[in-house]
Amino acid sequence: MSEMMIDVHNTPRQAIEKRIETCNIYIGVFDRRWGQIPTINNPEKLSVTAIEYKKARELGLARLVLVSSAEKEPELQNFLKSISTFETGNWHHRYNDLIQLTAIVSLAIAGLNLEESKGKSSHKNNMESDREIFEFYRQAFNRPAFKGKWQWHSSLRQYDQAINDTIRAINTGILTTRSGKEFLRIFTDMYIANEQWRREKEKIVLRLSNIRISLQNANFMQPNVVGDVLDNERNEIIRSLNKILEALNIERLPIPTEATSLDDV
């Protein structure tokens, strides 16, 4: 958090603590390094990241601790051990790379906000709210990356960017152009009321992450194997989404590999 902040009125510690006080949840990502250790008002010799965690815990925020599989500096290893005790510690999740980290965070956000989202008042009933969300999802998936067979797409880099943009859209409610310019935003709570549909959405996010992993490893796989994996994942994503769209009387999307020519892309 501290690296992304600009505050000309408070000390770094005050700025961090004030910002944390405005948060609903804490997500701590711990990789290799212990990090910067403030020398003033820090008798425990905690790093800035550890101070952020401690403040979040004092405020009673929901906390998600994510720990990489990389070897860690001793101070960080000891800190993680101290906050992971059975009686008073936090559950933590391990990740191996950025793609897996993104998937874990995407799946966890809904659970961390579940009780808060249930308690929010709304002028729309659940079905209307879910319909608005899935109409947006339909637009997010109605793009060339989900049309046509994989072999019709030529650029791995551009395709990976399209998948990443799709993941970001369904998690944030914001659609952007390839250059990152926002062109559509859904103005509603992104919480899906229907539990079964919510779980299907989580599965879709996992499949999108699987696609990104396959793209990352494409140079080490046989082309036909990559194509089969990507085509299967995309087909299953659209089939899952179509079942929900049909239940909500929303126009279905074509299955990617059922396109018969490049004109359909």
Query: What ranges do the domains of the chain cover?
Result: 9-96, 122-264
Nearest to 83 by CA among 132, 46, 43: 46
pLDDT of 15 strictly over 90: no
Tell me which H or E stretch contains 176: strand 174-176
Residue 212: the pLDDT is 86
CA atoms within 13 A on the CB side of 224: 0
Dump pLDDT digits (tens) for 198-208: 889 988 988 99
Residue 197: the pLDDT is 92
pLDDT of 162 strictly over 50: yes
pLDDT of 240 strictly over 90: yes
What whole-number percentage of the chain has pLDDT above 70?
83
Residue 13: the pLDDT is 77
Q: How confident is the model at residue 235 (pLDDT cuts 50, 70, 90)?
A: very high
Dump pLDDT digits (tens) for 111-131: 555 555 554 444 446 778 889
3-state secondary structure of 217: coil
Give the pairing of strands 25-30 and 62-68. parallel
